[in-house]
Amino acid sequence: MNEALIRSLTPSVLAVLVRRGADFAAAEDAVQDALVEAVRGWPADPPRDAKGWLVTVAWRRFLDASRSDAARRRREDRAEEEPAPGPAPAVDDTLQLYFLCAHPSLTPSSAVALTLRAVGGLTTRQIAEAYLVPEATMAQRISRAKRTVSDVRFDQPGDVATVLRVLYLVFNEGYSGDVDLSAEAIRLTRQLAARVDHPEVAGLLALMLLHHARRATRAAPDGSLVPLAEQDRGRWDTASIAEGVVILQAALARDRLGEFQAQAAIAALHADAATVEETDWVQILEWYDELVRLTDSPVVRLNRAVAVGEADGPRAGLAALAELTDSSPASSKRGSPMPRHTAVAAYLHERDGDVATAARLYAEAAHQALNLAERDYLTRQAARLNTLRRG
């Protein structure tokens, strides 16, 4: 059985049921029942029209559930007008499904889970394993999300920017369980790009491809973190890089710059450098200036400080970092405006030759690290510099 085919058909089948009048939550349950039946029956007897088969079975499951529901009398007429089996309609409402699953009324975590379930076709178990939570917990999260959007009109205009943020959240989760969420995010973004002509959709797809191209080199065999400057560039996926650059160039040519296009441009410049020494930091800094203009995000300003340090020298980078700290309301509350701030300060002090300060800051950054891989890497940097000082 072709699992990829079933998953690719899931959103369009769900959209057909909703378009026929099924509420979203009941339609999604019916589609999942149809998928289970497909898994059981297709290997021995595959249908000629896979989508039509799924639509027919899912609609019948929905009607069966409706008849036993308290609202049977409201839906009786619909049950008597069951469409005859046959080819599924050509109308594709998948884009509306993206908008529904990324509705502003949902929390980011709920939008991600609902997108993976309804658009991605993943099972609740797969999503739970990917996010390292019990299946029952994820089932409750998805159920709440479905209830939240159950009264949203299916043809209501959606917000592409919200959908892109949800897909980027999925991408950044990486790999866990038996689902590669980064690859799944790329697949879903390709699917979205085929349905909406928007330069930021293309920008996000390019960004994902360019980042994913470096995936095999981000960790050592023992699982330890390998920073960009130390990665084996000969192992980067050149086909993904080439595809990402082509998509990005076409998006930029439309002269409607957005944050994902700017981020992709920075990733492309890193990918274009055969060695870390050949990195065009001046141009990268220019793109960070564009990102600051577009978003004014503290995280962007932090990354810009690194680019300043590489393009104009470590002291200039430290000055940019000091401006960020002074202007951030969080700096007075936590001593550091955001994760990685202390690590960036340590790196720039080391570049400036202040080994003692850098070692101390690396140790502090290790205590602030958000995951084990980062903590171990920063601890090793502090130990390396302390050994250098003693030597």
Check if the beta carbon of residue 116 is closer than 8 Å to that of residue 122.
yes
Overall average pLDDT of the 296-304 stretch: 94
Q: Using one digit for the tens of pLDDT, what is the confidence trace for 16-61?
A: 998 888 889 999 999 999 988 998 888 888 899 999 999 999 999 9
Residue 92: per-residue pLDDT: 58
Tell me the backbone φ, ψ of residue 219, rounded to 5 degrees. -135, 145
Whole-structure pTM value: 0.82
Interval 6-23: pLDDT, tens: 888 898 899 899 888 888
The DSSP string of 297-330 is: -HHHHHHHHHHHHHHH-HHHHHHHHHHHHHH-TT
CA-to-CA distance for 295 and 185, rounded, in angstroms?
23
Higher pLDDT, 130 or 160: 160
First to last CA, the chain: 62
Helix (H) or strand (E) holding 238: helix 238-252
For the cut 80, the answer to whether the pLDDT of residue 1 exceeds it is no
Residue 326: per-residue pLDDT:
61
| Residue carrying structure tokens 């959240």 | 169
**pLDDT at residue 69, rounded to an integer:** 61
pLDDT tens digit string along 102-121? 998 999 999 999 999 998 88
pLDDT the model gives residue 351: 97
Mean pLDDT of 288-312: 96
CA distance 238 to 234: 9
Q: What is the mean pLDDT of residues 289-307?
A: 96
What mean pLDDT is predicted for residues 239-259?
A: 98
Spatial distance between the Cα atoms of 63 and 86, rounded to a whole number of angstroms: 17
